[in-house]
Every structure is written in structure tokens, then in C-alpha cells.
Chain A
């Protein structure tokens, strides 16, 4: 299989400009800036079927097309490197192993939407990522790949690294904008969408780190080439992150059409200690959990959606048959209760309530109505909130309760409080 996103990962000093240039680095940016117009770049991305790899899978070319070019305000590109979705750790590898591939994608994207300023929002804990990226930006600035008159053209671009400060919700695009503007990370009501009213009230594109790292190869090899790598309507490869009960946890670059079974057993080395698979989260903790007999699904956005889960951020979390699913639901609920920004009451109150109920179910002290009430409480969060976090709580925690119902019922029989 042809490596796209990880093509340079194995090279010595893969993060250095010199290494990148030796391997056709910045040729795609040169092609875009000297031989193509902005709309031509956008067309090529549309043809590639590239979809947002940060979680939602929105078609990237279409998103760029929403930037109103007649609007006289400055336009911004904001790069989402918050990487807070549990189970996901791919953007870190791009930052640390191939930051110039990201920068090249940023240059081409900014050229396409006529933006002269990009902010890269990196989660605050990724200290090494920020240092590596800043060093790459400095190299690019001093060699004419960033800054004024890039590669002898009239195109100027400034890239700034912005540190987050430890809040999952800041990965949500509008919370990220608020945070970048120096406020608490509270998601904004949409519409208006960031394409029209984004950073500092100006038209803004927000894309994930991995999404933008696909842009250089697409411009170099053509949109059709990229579309063919994937499955229908899901162009290219993805970085799948595999963790939990597997022999070889790590990042794997594989085509979108690969099955979950192949990722777990062929690439990540299967389940340790001769154990059996019990459940898998296919796309970060927000994605509904799958049972062991659902793993023949293709890992693209549409196939996972069709079976009621989602491809999300590409974070695969594997659970073997020793896993207590009431406990697993409680751990997920603990995450949501901890990370709700608190702006909407169904999410703030609901996530805390769900967590406390599950904790009682797991530890003992629950009453039968605690289980009976659970689906109702969970169901009342989704669809009633400002951002998609509320839906994530509903779909994620709800999936444990519905798919592993028996375990919840047994728990209530075993550990019920009879007072």
C-alpha cells in the first residue's frame, strides 16, 4: 500500500526542512502558487473526496468553498491540533515527525481561500509538538517557504502556534475560536458558521492537522489519485490510532475502506494473553461502542454511520472479554461529566447525573429505578444543547446500556441497594 501521510515518518530527521526538501517537499505548494488559481485548488480537493479527519467527516473542498471571497475582511485558517478526543493521538505524530507536510498543506489551503494568516491551536500538554512545529516554522520562514513573497511569488503567509491549556471542549471548532480569542472555551451557537463569522468576526476555515497534511499529496498527484485510495466518497488513507487491549498499540496508516477486523488482528497484533474481543470503540470515545460481531465493518465515515456508530477521529479503543461494560460506561461518563463546559443545563446536569448513576450501579448502592431512569436521562441530553458534545454523551453512553443491557441488569441484581 502506498504511504501518504506517513511517507516520511521513518526517515532520519524527518522533521527537518532539509529532509523534507530531499523528498519532493514544497513542490506541491510551488505548483499551486505558480500554476493554479485558488478555485482550481479547491476543485482538486473536491475531486479528491477528502473529508475532515478531526471527527465530523465534512467534505473539505466544500468547506473551503463557503468562504465568501467578496467579503472584504481578512480570512483566516485555523488548524485544529487540540487532539482531545480520547483514543486519538495521530496529530502528535504529524507534529513531531513531519511538521513540514502540515505547513505545506497550510500554505496551499491559505492560498486557495486567500488567507494570509494561519493559527495552529495545539493542546497545551503537547510541549514537544509545539517546539518541533515552531522550529519547522522558523526554518520555513528563513528559507522563503513562509513569510513575505513565498517562493518568489506575491503570496504572503504568517503561521502562528497557539497553545491550548487543557480543556477537551476547545477541540470543538467554535469553542476553539473563543479560546483563541482569549476567552473561556464556550462553544458558540451556529449559525452563523465560522466560514462567515469566525475568528475575530472574519471568514474562517477550521481544519484538523491530518486533514491539512493530505493537501500537499493531493495537489502533487491529483484529486482522482487520492479518491481512488479510499472507498466511495471517502478519499485517501487515514491514520488509525489503536489502543487498549491489543498487542501492538500505535498509529497505522491504512485505506479508508479497510475493515475494523483487519486493523485489530492484522495490524495491531490481535488481543493479548489469548483473550477474546468483547467490544470496540471505532472512532474516539464519543463514538458508539461496537460488539465483537460488528467488526467486519469498513472503517469509512458512511459505513460506520450505517451501523449506528461513527468513524470520528480514527481512535480505536479495544476491550477484551475481561472488561466490565458497566465500568467502561462509567469511565466514559466520568470523562464527559468532567469535560462538559457547563454552558447548557441538559449537558452539565445530565452528564453528572449519568456518571453518578453509573458509579452507583458499578460500586453498589444503586436502586432499581437508577437503571430504569438511565436511558431517559441520557436521551434528554442529546439534541438539546449548543454543541455536539451533548449528542456524544447520549450516543456513547447510550450504546453501552443498549448493547450490553444484560450486564447492567445483572449488576442491579448483584449490587442493588435495598433500603
Chain B
């Protein structure tokens, strides 16, 4: 069940659209912001709230890669592997993160601190090689910058 606070926020979002279903993406973003993931219970709640089948909600959650069905770590690295970043060493940054954290793309360390996602172009190729670190963009990456971030948050 949504809290009254969240419900008020969702009503405000949904009020901007001619058809309630159109609010699906912003509604999911708002829930994920509060809860850190989209759980099966939230999918049920959203389905009731927007008046659409739960399978539609679930399809959207699995289609769009910014929605998570499990919680991400406190530090979430989303590193770009597309051409401009790859030309400047993006793939090495990804390998380095995998080694340092001992996880693969899509995984979280057992202590729940770090998550790694390998992503396609984030629209910041001028900062290559770059990543999204939680919500922030970080560019001109090298192994030292990555190590500093990991050590600071260990």
C-alpha cells in the first residue's frame, strides 16, 4: 500500500496526463526513488492505482533498464561501454571494476555496498570514458579515480 505522502505525490504526477496510464514511467520513478526498487507488491499497487493489468506494469519494469527489481548498492556504478567511451579505455574501467569488486555486470557485492552496471551511451561522450555514479555523471575516468571511490566507501 502507498503511504499518504507517496499517494499525494502520485496524484500530482497522474494529474498531468490526459490518460492515467501515461503516468506509468514517472510513477515508477517516484516509487523507486522512495523504496530503492520496484517490488512485486509495488507492481500490484501501481496496477490498481493506474487501472491497468499488473502484467503491463511488470513488462514495463523489465523493459526499461532504469527500473530495478532488486536493491542496488549504496554506490552504483553504471559504466558506459559504447564507442566514444570504449575508444578511450571504457572497457578497461569496466574490467577493473569487475576485478576490484569481484562481481559481474548487474550484480551487487554481498555486503550490499557496491553495484555494477555496464550500460550503453549515456549522452556524455565528451567526458569519455565516463559513468553514472548513483545519479551523478563522472567523466575522464581512470583506475585511480575508481580506486579512490571504492576505498572511500568501503
Inter-chain contact A335/B82, CB cutoff 8 Å:
yes
Residue from A166, A250, A251 within 8 A of B64 (CB atoms): A166
Q: Are B60 and A285 in contact (CB under 8 A)?
A: no
Partner of B60, one of A83, A124, A182: A182
Option from A127, A160, A165, A245 in Cβ contact (under 8 Å) with B16: A160
Nearest residue, chain A, Cβ from B59: A184
Q: When the two chains form their complex, are residues B63 and A167 in contact, meaning their CB atoms are under 8 A apart?
A: yes
The reply to whether A183 and B18 form a contact with Cβ atoms under 8 Å apart is no
Q: How far is the CB of A199 from chain B (nearest CB, A)?
A: 9
**Contact residues of B between 98 and 134, Cβ < 8 Å to A:** 119-128, 132
The digit string for A316-337, where 1 denotes a CB below 8 A from any CB of B, is 0101000100001001101100
In residues 20-57 of chain B, which contact A (Cβ within 8 Å)? 21-26, 28-29, 50, 52, 56
A244 and B65 CA atoms in complex are apart in Å by 25
**A182→B121 contact, CB < 8 A:** no
CB neighbours of B154 from chain A (8 A): none
Q: Which residue of A lies closest to B62 (CB)?
A: A184
A244 touches B83 (CB 8 A): yes
Q: Is the CB of B125 within 8 A of A165?
A: no
Looking at A165, A250, A323, A332, which has the most chain B CB atoms within 10 Å of its CB? A165
Q: Are A87 and B52 in contact (CB under 8 A)?
A: no
Q: How far is the CA of A323 from the CA of B56 in the complex (A)?
A: 44
Q: Is B1 an interface residue (CB 8 A)?
A: no
Contact (Cβ within 8 A) B87 A249:
no
Once the chains bind, are A244 and B23 in contact (CB under 8 Å)?
no
Q: How many residues of B contact A (CB 8 A)?
A: 41
Shortest distance between the CB of A402 and any CB in chain B (Å): 18
B142 to chain A: which residues have CB within 8 Å? none
Bound together, the chains give a CA A253 to CA B140 distance in angstroms of: 23
Identity of the chain A residue whose Cβ is nearest the Cβ of B28 in the assembled complex: A165
A251 to B124, CA, bound (A): 11
A330 to chain B, nearest CB (A): 10
Q: Are A167 and B65 also in contact (CB < 8 A) when A182-B24, A182-B25, A244-B84 are? A: yes
- Are B63 and A315 in contact, CB atoms less than 8 angstroms apart? no
Q: Report yes or no: A317 in contact with B125, Cβ–Cβ below 8 A.
A: yes
Known: A86-B121, A200-B18, A331-B82. A179 touches B126 (CB 8 A): no
Tell me if A301 is interfacial: C-beta within 8 Å of chain B.
Answer: no
Nearest CB of A to B105, in Å: 11
Q: A33 → chain B, closest Cβ, in Å?
A: 23
Q: Does B88 contact A (CB under 8 A)?
A: yes
Asked if A367 lies at the interface with its beta carbon under 8 angstroms from chain B, I say: no
Interface residues of A (CB under 8 A from B): 74, 83-89, 91-92, 117, 123-127, 160, 162-168, 179-185, 200, 241-245, 249-251, 281, 285, 315, 317, 319, 323, 328, 331-332, 334-335, 338-339
> Can you list 26 residue pairs at the A/B interface with Cβ under 8 Å?
A86-B120, A87-B121, A88-B121, A124-B29, A124-B64, A127-B135, A162-B25, A165-B28, A165-B66, A166-B65, A166-B66, A179-B25, A182-B52, A182-B60, A185-B64, A200-B22, A242-B126, A243-B128, A244-B84, A249-B125, A285-B82, A317-B83, A317-B84, A319-B87, A328-B83, A331-B82
* Chain B residues near A (Cβ < 8 Å): 16-19, 21-26, 28-29, 50, 52, 56, 59-60, 63-67, 81-84, 86-88, 119-128, 132, 135
